[in-house]
C-alpha cells in the first residue's frame, strides 16, 4: 500500500509527525507532500528540524493569498503530483485550506481519503476551519475522530458507521514526545527567566481581521497582573502593525514564534494558558493547566469538563474564568486510550487495503 500524506501548516506537521516517523522507521511506501501554505521558518522548517522529520518529496510552494488563490493553487499543483505518484490513499489532518483542497483533489481523482481529526465541530460556519472540516469529512472514505463527541457529529451528519474508526487522538503522541524532549533541550523559558507566568497564543483569522476585535482581545489583559508571554504569530504581528496597536503590546512579553518543543516547555510550566488554538486547548487539558479560550465556540467540547473556559471577547466572562483558573488544581492526564493513535490508524488503513475496502464508495454527500 502506498500512502500520500498531504500537509501544509504548523499544526499538521506536528500532529502527523508520529505517523511519518513510523513510515520512515518501517521503510513503508509513502510520499510526503507539503503545500507550502506555511512557509515562514518559525512556522514550518523549524518543526521538521526539531521533530527530526524527512524533508517533503514535494513542496508545492503555494504561499499566501486570498482563499480562492491559495485553494486553487493547491488543487492545480497537487493534482499533477497525485496523478504521477498514484497513491492508494491520501491522508490529511485537521481543518486548513490544505486539508480541504487536498481531500477534494484526491477524491476527484478517485483516490480514497483518510481524514485524521475528523468530526470536530464548533458549529460556527463563519469559521473557515469549520467549512474545511466539513468538506474534508464528507469526501473522505476513512474518518478518524479524536473523541466520542466528534464521532457522534459524523453520525449525525449521515456518515456511515463503517467509515468511522476511533483510534485515539494523534495529538497526544506528539505532545508527550515533545514534553519529554523539552525537559532536555528547551531553552526559551530559561532565557526569559520567569517562574510565574501565563502564555498567550492568538492567531485565528476571525480574531485578527479587524482593529476592533483584536484591540478588544488585547485589552482584556489590562485587568490581570500575571506576566503574559506572547509568541506572536506573523498574522497577528502584521495585524497589530496595520491597526497601530503596538502600544498595547507593551503589556506582554512578546517573543518570536517558537518551535514545538520550546512551546510545550512554556505550556508545561505556565500557571495559565490563553489561546484561540484548538490544539493548545487539548494540550492544556492533557497538562492539567487552566485554559481560557478566546473564541465564542470550540470544536473541543470534551475538554470543557476540566479547566477550559470559553470566553470570547467578553470581559466579564474573561475575569470570571481568570479567577477560576488561578484556583484550578488540575493534574496531567496520560490518556492511555489516545497513545499509539498513529500506529493504530496505519494498521486500520493496511487492513482495509488488504481486504479490498480502501476505495471510493457510492455514497451521497450530506
Instruction: Give the phi and the psi of residue 272 in degrees, each rounded to 5.
Output: -155, 155
Q: How far apart are CA 63 and CA 46, in angstroms?
A: 17
Pairing of strands 3-7, 272-275: unpaired
Q: Would you state the cell numbers that stand for residue 170, as one nine-digit string?
A: 494523534
Closest CA to 366 of 155, 164, 161: 155
Whether the predicted pLDDT of 252 surpasses 80: yes
Could you tell me if 82 and 109 are in contact, meaning their C-beta atoms sit under 8 angstroms apart?
yes
Q: Which residue has the higher pLDDT, 190 or 320?
A: 320
Q: How far apart are CA 101 and CA 192, in angstroms?
A: 40
Q: What is the pLDDT of residues 43-97, one digit of tens each?
A: 678 888 888 899 999 999 998 888 899 999 999 999 999 999 999 999 999 999 9
pLDDT given at position 365: 43
Q: What is the pLDDT of residues 143-190, one digit of tens each?
A: 999 999 999 999 999 999 999 999 999 988 888 877 777 766 567 787
Band of pLDDT at residue 261, cut at 50, 70 and 90: confident
The domain limits of the chain are 3-168+340-354, 184-327
Class of domain 184-327: alpha beta
Q: Would you state the cell numbers that stand for residue 32, as one nine-digit string?
A: 510526503
pLDDT given at position 40: 67
Q: Which residue has the higher pLDDT, 44 or 344?
A: 344
Give residues with Cβ within 8 angstroms of 222, minimum separation 6: 251
Q: What is the pLDDT of residues 356-365, one digit of tens each?
A: 999 887 654 4
Which residues are marked as active site? 203
Using a pLDDT cut of 90, give the percent of the chain over it.
70
Q: How far apart are CA 85 and CA 13, in angstroms?
A: 21
Q: Which residue has the higher pLDDT, 331 or 264?
A: 264
Whether the predicted pLDDT of 192 surpasses 60: yes
Q: How far apart are CA 267 and CA 246, in angstroms?
A: 25
CA distances from 54 to 24, 33, 77, 311 (A): 8, 11, 21, 39
Q: Which residue has the higher pLDDT, 289 or 303?
A: 289
Q: What is the pLDDT of residues 3-42, one digit of tens each?
A: 999 999 988 999 999 999 999 999 999 999 999 987 766 6
Number of H helices, E strands in the chain: 15, 12
3-168+340-354 fold:
Rossmann fold (3.40.50)
Instruction: Give the phi and the psi of residue 331 in degrees, each rounded to 5.
Output: -140, 150
Could you tell me if 274 and 253 are in contact, meaning their C-beta atoms sit under 8 angstroms apart?
no
Instruction: Give the phi and the psi of residue 145 in degrees, each rounded to 5.
Output: -70, 145
Report the chain's mean pLDDT, rounded to a whole number: 91
* CATH topology match: 3-168+340-354 vs 184-327: yes
Whether the predicted pLDDT of 106 surpasses 60: yes
Average pLDDT, stretch 331-350?
82
Instruction: Return the ∠ at Cα 79 (arms to 14 and 98), rounded to 5°.
Output: 30
Band of pLDDT at residue 366, cut at 50, 70 and 90: very low
Q: Would you state the cell numbers that stand for residue 75, as one nine-digit string?
A: 488543487
pLDDT given at position 258: 87
Instruction: Give the phi and the psi of residue 59 in degrees, each rounded to 5.
Output: -125, 115
pLDDT given at position 172: 87
Amino acid at each position: 500500500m502506498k500512502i500520500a500524506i498531504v500537509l501544509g501548516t504548523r499544526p499538521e506537521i506536528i500532529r502527523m509527525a508520529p505517523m511519518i516517523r513510523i513510515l520512515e522507521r518501517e521503510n513503508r511506501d509513502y510520499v510526503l507532500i507539503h503545500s507550502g501554505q506555511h512557509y515562514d521558518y518559525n512556522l514550518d522548517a523549524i518543526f521538521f528540524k526539531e521533530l527530526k522529520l524527512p524533508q517533503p518529496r514535494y513542496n508545492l510552494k503555494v504561499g499566501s493569498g486570498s482563499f480562492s488563490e491559495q485553494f486553487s493553487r493547491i488543487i492545480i499543483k497537487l493534482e499533477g503530483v497525485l496523478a504521477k505518484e498514484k497513491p492508494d490513499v491520501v491522508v490529511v489532518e485537521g481543518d486548513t485550506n490544505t486539508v480541504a483542497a487536498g481531500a477534494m483533489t484526491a477524491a476527484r481523482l478517485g483516490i480514497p481519503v483518510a481524514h485524521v481529526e475528523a468530526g470536530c465541530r464548533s458549529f460556527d460556519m463563519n469559521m473557515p476551519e469549520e467549512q474545511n472540516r466539513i468538506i474534508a469529512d464528507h469526501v473522505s472514505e476513512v474518518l478518524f475522530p479524536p473523541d466520542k463527541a466528534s464521532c457522534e457529529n459524523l453520525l449525525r451528519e449521515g456518515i456511515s458507521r463503517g467509515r468511522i474508526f476511533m483510534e485515539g487522538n494523534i495529538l497526544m503522541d506528539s505532545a508527550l514526545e515533545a514534553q519529554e524532549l523539552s525537559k532536555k533541550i528547551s531553552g526559551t523559558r530559561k532565557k526569559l527567566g520567569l517562574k510565574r507566568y501565563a502564555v498567550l497564543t492568538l492567531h485565528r483569522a476571525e480574531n485578527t481581521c479587524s482593529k476592533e476585535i483584536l484591540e478588544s482581545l488585547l485589552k482584556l489583559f489590562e485587568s490581570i497582573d500575571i506576566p503574559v508571554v506572547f509568541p506572536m504569530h506573523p498574522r497577528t504581528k502584521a495585524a497589530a502593525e496595520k491597526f497601530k496597536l503596538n502600544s498595547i503590546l507593551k503589556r506582554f512579553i512578546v517573543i518570536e514564534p517558537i518551535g514545538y518543543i520550546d512551546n510545550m516547555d512554556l505550556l508545561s510550566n505556565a500557571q495559565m494558558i490563553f489561546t484561540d488554538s484548538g490544539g493548545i486547548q487539548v494540550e492544556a487539558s492533557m497538562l492539567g493547566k487552566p485554559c481560557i479560550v478566546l473564541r465564542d465556540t470550540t470544536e473541543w467540547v470534551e475538554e470543557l469538563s476540566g479547566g477550559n473556559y470559553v470566553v470570547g471577547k467578553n470581559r466579564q466572562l474573561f475575569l470570571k474564568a481568570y479567577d477560576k483558573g488561578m484556583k484550578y488544581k488540575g493534574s496531567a492526564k496520560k490518556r492511555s486510550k489516545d497513545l499509539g493513535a498513529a500506529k493504530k490508524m496505519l494498521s486500520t488503513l493496511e487492513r482495509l487495503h488488504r481486504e479490498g475496502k480502501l476505495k471510493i464508495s457510492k455514497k451521497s454527500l450530506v
